[in-house]
Every structure is written in structure tokens, then in C-alpha cells.
Amino acid sequence: MIRLQQLHFRYPQSTFRLNIPELEIKAAERIAVIGPSGCGKTTLLNLISGILIPDQGTLISCGIDLKTLNDSQRRAYRISKIGFVFQEFELIDYLNVRDNILLPYFINGTLQLDESVHARAQELAASMQIDQYFSSRIDQISQGERQRVAICRALLPQPQILLADEPTGNLDPANKRLIRDLLLEHATRTNATLIMVTHDDRLLDQFERTINIERFHEVVETA
Amino acid sequence: MNGILRLTFRYLAYNKLKTITLILCVSLALLLPVLLQFGVVQFEQDLLARARSTPLIAGAKGSRFDLALQSMYFSRAELEPTTMQEVESIQETGYALPIPLALRFTAQGAPLVGTTLDYFEFRKLEIEKGTSLRRLGDCVIGASLAEKIQLKPGDRLMSDPLNVFDLSGNYPLKMRVVGVLGKSGSPDDDAVFVDLKTEWVISGIGHGHQSINAATDKDLVLKQEDQRTIANAAVPQFNEVTEDNLASFHFHGQSETFPISSIILVPADEKSEVLLLGMYDAENSVLQLIRPTEIVNELLELVFRVKQLFDMNTLLVSVSVGLLLALIFLLSLRLRKRERQTMFQLGSSRSTIWKLQLTEIAFILGTSLIIVFGIAVVFRIYAYQIMRFLFIE
């Protein structure tokens, strides 16, 4: 499903290096990515989503070699294959819950917003127990509910890969487990690959595999 | 609804105060130059149209501007009067049709124009309701004035006293409204027209009172000279001309000495116009003869100079407002950086993200333009009155 080989990446004018000799993630696999801050967890997600382009090596996802894609092709890949959940939720404060869930359809001309999408959004919200807040503003709901809105937004376009970048980082322990379980449950139900970055060891038990990204990270002395 | 439009409206509605403030700022920055330009163009058109339709104006020597503006727009000005003798002199030359104007009084604040029936013909003024002037004490009123003071043929209209504290001065005359003019889109719409003789009655040159019998009305007789009886101030004067007292109205003095404010001259041909201008160009001439178009062009030069000052000021204000708006937009862009980043990560193209920002700016500018357009349309209707108030009255 996702294959990284001899992959090298560095940010311009930075001592940060990410070198991944071999990493394979199977379809529908549930993976937790761990490692200290600044070791490249978010970078790995951005590489898989096509936002960043590796300097060297191969990155094949859903059968597509991401290095060969141009900007618009990578964008099309991101729209059709990837769902993103962020630590800070990244919801739009001037939209209500429903419009936040539907956001990918407002900003991507390739996604067709029709009745079935509206119905699916309603269904997803109900499954996350936030459908009663459909018309509420974002500042009127709790942190845990905001993250559930963000998960609905990521799941609505039915992605094959769900990337969650520390989605539980800002939540209390009860909500952390709830959000993790929701992600796992929906990934299982939709047969999506789940890659979740976390700092919390207590959440790792439900994942099939844990990758410590620290082993791929190195800091290079600059001249 | 298109996704970008939906997001734009949601953002603008969520930030109502900011949106309204920005729209008001842009509207105000645009409004002043637009209205000024609009007003000046309209003013120029109206002024020139009236001036072009008024070939020559004669009046006592003094301010040429006052003479032109009072004769064409009935503005308040203290013109030195001239006499009916000048009208007769011009008439005798045969070079032009002289139309005398007496413009000293007002009625309910509107200018009262004493003239002859030639004026109506010259200005192509049609009576829409009622009839034209028929006898002493009649008046015809302009369409806008009739609407404003709610008068119709058959009603009465009182002239205003020139000075309420001057006991020896003129007394107001109750005039009979006999007609209402059709709308002409000119100062005639806001004026009251009377015959010259009626104006002279208002000014006190003519009057009507009960006839005095020297033998029976001893209290009313000041002195008796041969066949002539001179009445004293106790004789009650009529303040309204009626069919019954019409015959008692009379004028004292020679009609050629009676005052008028100015004379509109309608030359017979171009040659006559040149001859008339030459006639009154002499140093010893008691009258000055002006071409209204020349005066109006001079006035417009003044207006344009004032406008240039406004334009300079407006330019500076607009640049400041523009820079402030740019700053607001830049700060807004910075504040919304994460929103743009999220949209990009969710698959939006950079062009879509910029389109979103530009649509917001376009909406604010568009709404401001609509507001400016709306106000400009309303202003256009009143431009003439406003500019007249600013530059003539």
C-alpha cells in the first residue's frame, strides 16, 4: 500500500535529515508513529500525503510513485486518497459544524457536493455523536467534540489513508481514548490505512504496529 | 452555491463589524470624488444650458456675477436698480426684444419675479394648470414651488415683507394664484411670476385705496391744492387686488422712472447683438451689457479651481485609506495563514485559496461601489440644488 525505499528528505537550510532505508505499510493497517518532538513524525505524514517531496528515494502510495507527480496530480492524489486529522483540529471558526465537515467539498472542485454527501456527513456526525451540533459554531462545542468534527471532515471524502497528526495531543485522557477508538473503528469500518502520530504510550495497545521514527532521523552539522 | 462564495459570505457574515467598517471606509473614500465629479458635471451642464438660452443681460453697473446669477437664477443679490426708460431705449433701437425683470421681493421665501408675458414665451414656459397673468395682483407659480407649498389656481399667496421693522416700507400683497407652470427643470420651477405692475404695487410705487371726498372725509385729507386732494397716512390701503378695488389702484410718478433689476435682451440677429454690445461698451453708459455664457464660464473656472483643491485632498485621503485597507488585508492574511495551510493540506489548490481571499476583497469593493452608485443616483437628482446652494446662493 505505502512503500518508502532509500528515502532521503531535508528541509532547505536546516540540519534536519530524514533517511528511511525501507518502510512498508500494508493496506488497512493501523500504525502508530512515535518519537520525540522534531524527529520527523509530521514530516513523514507530509511526505505520505504528497505535501512534501523526497529529495531522493522512492515513495509509492496506493500504487502511485509520488515523486513522478506534478503539483496538480499530487493535489488530486491528496483529495482522493488522503484524510488529515490535526492536533489543533484546524477547524474554520466562521463555519458551523456542518460546513466544517463539508469543507473539503467547498474548496475542491473535483469533489461533487450532492445529497449523498450531505447524508453521509449526517451519518458520520451521528456516529460521532455530534449531529446535535450540526448548526452550532465551533466555539460553542468542547475540545473533544471539535476533534470529532475534524475526524468527520477527514473521513467524509472516504480516504484510503487516514493520517492523524497527534490528534489526541490537546485532549483529556478520556477523550484521548475516545478519539483513538473512533479513528480505529472508522478506519476498520472503511478499510482505510490509519497512521496516527502520538506521544502517549498508553494509546499504543490498540494499534497493529508502532514505528519509532527516531531511528530514521539524524541531525547534520552544517559547515 | 459555489463553495468559494459560500465560504466568502460565511467569513464576511461572521466578521460583520469588520466587513461593515471596511465597506463604509471604501464607500466614503470613493464617494467624495465621485459625487464631486458628478455634481460639477451636472452643475456645468445646468449652468451652461441656462446661460446659452439667455443671450444678453443688461443692468446697472456693478458686479457682473451678481447681475448674471440674479437674472438667470433669481439668486439674492443687492443689484443697483435700473429704470423702465432703459427698456424703452432698447426697444427703440429695434436691435433686441427687452424683457425687464424686477427681482427684489420674495413670496414664502421663493423669488418673486416681476416681468412681462414675453418672459414666458422667451423661456418657453407653458401653463400647466389655470391661466396666464390676467390682471394686477395675479401670480403664476413654478411647478416645484406649487408642489412644495401646496398651492393651486384660485389660492392666495402673500408676498414677504422686505423688512418687518421698516414701517414706512412696502406692505405685503395678497396675490391671486391664477396658474401653475409646467416643469422646466430650471430655476423657473421655484419662482413666483407677477406682472411688473404687481411688483411695483408690492414695492409701494402703486397702491389702491378708497376714494376720498375732500368734503366728507376731512380726517383723511392732508392738504388740498386746487383740484388736487392729498390724502394722509390714515387712508386704509388695500392689501389685495380684487375685482371691486381694481380700479382704485394707481401709480405715482412717470412709468419710465419705475425701477427694475435687469433686462434680458433677445437680439434680432448677430449683427444687432454686436451693435448692442458696442452701444453699452462706452464709459459713460449707465448700463452694462453682459454675455451670460462668458460669466458662467468664469464662474465654472472658479468651481473647477475649488474642485482641484478637493481633488488633491481627496487623492491624499484615498491614498491613506487605500494604505490602511491594504494593511488590514495584509494583517488579515497573516491571521488566516493557518486556515490557508489547512485548506492546502485538505487538497485545495493555491489558486482556489487566493480566489477565496480575492472574492472577499471583491465583495467589499463591489458592495462599496453599489452603495456609491446608489448615493450618486440620489445625488444626481439633487445635484443641481446642492451645487446651486454651494456656488450661487
CB contact under 8 A, B343 and A107: yes
Across residues A75-79, what is the average pLDDT?
Answer: 90
pLDDT tens digit string along B253-271?
888 889 999 999 999 898 9
Which residue in A82, A93, A108 is closest to B348 by CB distance?
A: A108
Output DSSP code: residue B189. Answer: G
For residue B148, give the C-alpha cell: 412644495
CA distance A48 to A68: 14
Which residue in A82, A93, A105 is closest to B3 by CB distance?
A: A105
pLDDT score of B163: 66
Same structural domain, B199 and B63: yes
DSSP letter string, B103-150: EEEEETTEEEEEE-HHHHHHTT--EEEE----STTEEEE-HHHHHHHT
How far is C-alpha B313 from the geometric centre of its chain's CA atoms? Answer: 28
pLDDT score of B387: 67
Amino acid at the residue B312: M
B352 touches chain A (CB under 8 A): yes
Residue after which a domain boundary falls, among B226, B261, B292:
B292
Amino acid at the residue B179: G
Q: How confident is the model at residue B391 (pLDDT cuts 50, 70, 90)?
A: low
Phi, psi of B141 (to 5 degrees): -115, 150
For residue B22, give the C-alpha cell: 471596511
Asked if the interface predicted TM-score (ipTM) of this complex is over 0.85, the answer is no
B16 touches chain A (CB under 8 A): no
pLDDT score of B304: 84
Residue after which a domain boundary falls, among B257, B292, B327:
B292
Amino acid at the residue B88: E
CA distance A36 to A34: 7
pLDDT at A57 over 90: yes
Same structural domain, B42 and B60: no
Angle, helices B84-93/B270-279, rounded to nearest 10 degrees:
130
For residue B126, give every residue at least 6 positions away whose Cβ sits within 8 Å of its Cβ, in sequence order, or none.
Answer: B181, B182
pLDDT tens digit string along B287-327?
899 999 999 898 888 888 888 888 888 888 888 888 988 89
Angle, helices A173-190/A143-155, rounded to nearest 10 degrees:
10
User: What domains appear along chain A, each with residue ranges and CATH number?
Assistant: 2-219 (3.40.50.300)
CB contact under 8 A, B339 and A92: yes
Structural domain boundaries enclosing B13:
3-47+299-391
pLDDT score of B170: 65
Residues of B whose CB is below 8 A from A88 = 338
Same structural domain, B94 and B212: yes
> Which helix (H) or strand (E) element contains residue A84?
strand A82-86
Of the two residues A175 and A117, the one the predictor is more confident about is A117
Same structural domain, B137 and B283: yes
Closest CA to B145 of B380, B385, B389, B390: B385
CA angle A137, A143, A145 (to 5 degrees): 65
CA distances from residue B85 to B56, B89, B255 in whole angstroms, order as listed: 18, 6, 8
| Chains A & B: contacts with CB separation below 8 Å | 64
pLDDT score of B368: 94
CA distance B225 to B81: 33
Same structural domain, B88 and B40: no
Nearest-by-CA chain B residue for A76: B347
Across residues A176-199, what is the average pLDDT?
Answer: 91
Q: Strand ranges (DSSP E) for A159-215?
A: 161-165, 193-197, 209-212
A15 CA to chain B: closest CA distance, Å? 24
Using CA atoms of B303, B305, B307, B312 in order, give the dihedral in degrees to the nearest 10: -170
Contact residues of A toward B, CB < 8 A = 49, 51, 72, 75-76, 78-79, 82, 84, 86, 88, 90, 92-95, 99, 103-109, 113, 153
Q: How confident is the model at residue B285 (pLDDT cuts 50, 70, 90)?
A: confident
Residue after which a domain boundary falls, among B245, B268, B292:
B292
Q: Is A57 left (phi over 0), alpha (psi -120 to 50) or beta?
A: left
CA distances from residue B63 to B5, B43, B60 in whole angstroms, order as listed: 61, 21, 9
Contact criterion met (CB below 8 Å) for B140 and B127: yes
SS3 category, B1: coil
Query: In chain B, what is the straight-line distance between the N-terminal and C-terminal CA atoms, in Å?
Result: 53
To test the contact with chain A by mutation, choose from B8, B17, B336, B348 the residue with the greatest count of A C-beta atoms within 10 A, namely B348
Same structural domain, B203 and B342: no
CA distance B351 to B344: 10
pLDDT at B388 over 70: no
Same structural domain, B38 and B103: no
> Which helix (H) or strand (E) element contains residue B347?
none
SS3 category, B383: helix
pLDDT at A168 over 60: yes
Same structural domain, B382 and B239: no
Same structural domain, B89 and B217: yes
Which residue in A84, A92, A109 is closest to B345 by CB distance?
A: A84
SS3 category, B88: helix
SS3 category, A13: coil
CB contact under 8 A, A107 and B3: yes
Output DSSP code: residue B260. Answer: E
Same structural domain, B286 and B270: yes
pLDDT tens digit string along A90-137?
999 999 999 999 999 999 888 888 999 999 999 999 988 899 999 999
To test the contact with chain B by mutation, choose from A106, A111, A140, A153 the residue with the greatest count of B C-beta atoms within 10 A, namely A106
Min mean pLDDT across A70-79, B114-123, B148-157, B275-284 is at B275-284
Q: How confident is the model at residue A86 (pLDDT cuts 50, 70, 90)?
A: confident
SS3 category, B68: helix
pLDDT score of B168: 55
Q: Strand ranges (DSSP E) for B234-359?
A: 249-251, 259-260, 262-267, 287-290
Same structural domain, B234 and B338: no
Output DSSP code: residue A96. Answer: B
Contact criterion met (CB below 8 Å) for B99 and B119: yes
Nearest-by-CA chain B residue for A137: B14
pLDDT score of A222: 52
Number of domains in chain B: 2
Same structural domain, B370 and B236: no
pLDDT score of A223: 40
pLDDT tens digit string along B30-82?
888 888 887 788 778 888 888 999 999 999 988 888 999 889 988 887 888 89
DSSP letter string, A32-81: EEE--TTSSHHHHHHHHTTSS--SEEEEEETTEEGGG--HHHHHHHHHHH
Amino acid at the residue A22: E
**Residue keyed to cell 422667451:** B122
Residues of B whose CB is below 8 A from A94 = 10-11, 13-15
Percent of residues, chain B, with pLDDT higher than 90:
39
